Amino acid sequence: MKLRKVTAASAAVLALSLAATACGGNDDDSSSSGSGGGGKVKVGIKYDQPGLGLKKPDGSFAGFDVDVATYVAKELGYKPDQIEFVETKSADRENALARGDVKYIVATYSITDERKQKVDFAGPYLLAHQDLLVKKDSKISKGTDLNGKNLCSVTGSTSAQNVQKTIAPKANLKQVSSYSECIAGLQSGAVDAVTTDDSILAGFASQDQYKGKFKLAGLKLSNENYGIGVKKGDTATVDKINKALEKMVSDGSWQKAVDANFGPADYNNEPAPKIGQLVK
């Protein structure tokens, strides 16, 4: 009889425990869901690229990639206060997606065959080209004009080597740790030109302290198809982002973002690319 009483009491405790569990809420913030609701979405961007992805001193974010990322999040069902921007450096982009640190990445992320082995891409959403940034009164317009000139790029970049290999083998290459250093060198006269993607160069040139001082040479030394990186196999999110990008172009928001972020540098941007069509 005593055994039955203990068993009954245990059953009652178990029932109460199960009921409490059923009534309790789920603490998951749904940061990797794609449905908005009460959760958040984590988006990878650059923090140090003016005109593209920049974290400002007040903690806010600005740039073309930020505008694209925000528009896409809205179409996925998220409000502005549900977006959490995460700094995603170039070397860690694939790992950040694989780990689930972010839902998608909008960070001057060129679509390449090698990268497509590790991640899926929506887009492209911008076609950029390798170019040169020079002073406004510079006569540099062709790569051969760089022979004997000081050319700046960041350490490890393939852009400067590409210039030396293809059009200006006698250019004096100066490699520094950041493009900000290159731009400062261009302003002071320490270097004659800076090379990387034209979108990145236009972003730097659009900063208030540089407006009207620099220009793009207009060379098209490579084709860079910027895509939005998504975890490998997440085709549902890729499809949703592609639809969002198509809408951004059709309603005029894409061109508005280009003008706002690159306009001061007189950036002669390519038309919005077609989804799934890469320019080789």
pLDDT tens figures, 137-158: 999 887 788 999 999 998 878 8
Sheet holding 224-231, edge to edge: 83-87, 41-45, 104-105, 224-231, 119-128
Phi, psi of 162 (to 5 degrees): -65, -40
Q: Where are the domains of the chain?
A: 41-128+224-265, 130-216
Q: Which helix (H) or strand (E) holds 231?
A: strand 224-231
Predicted TM-score (pTM) of the model is 0.82
How far from the centroid of its chain's Cα atoms is residue 276's Cα? 18
Structure tokens of 232? 């490998």
Higher pLDDT, 197 or 164: 197
* CATH among 3.40.190.290, 3.90.1300.10, 3.40.190.10, 1.10.1740.10 for 130-216: 3.40.190.10
- For domain 41-128+224-265, the CATH class is alpha beta
Instruction: Give the pLDDT mean for 178-184.
Output: 93
Same fold for the pair 41-128+224-265 and 130-216: yes
Closest CA to 221 of 186, 171, 274, 148: 171
Q: Which amino acid is at 224?
A: E
pLDDT tens per residue across span 50-81 = 999 999 999 999 999 999 999 999 999 999 99
Burial group, residue 80, by CB count within 10 angstroms (0-12, 13-18, 19+): exposed
- 229 beta partners: 105, 121
Instruction: Give the pLDDT mean for 200-208.
Output: 92
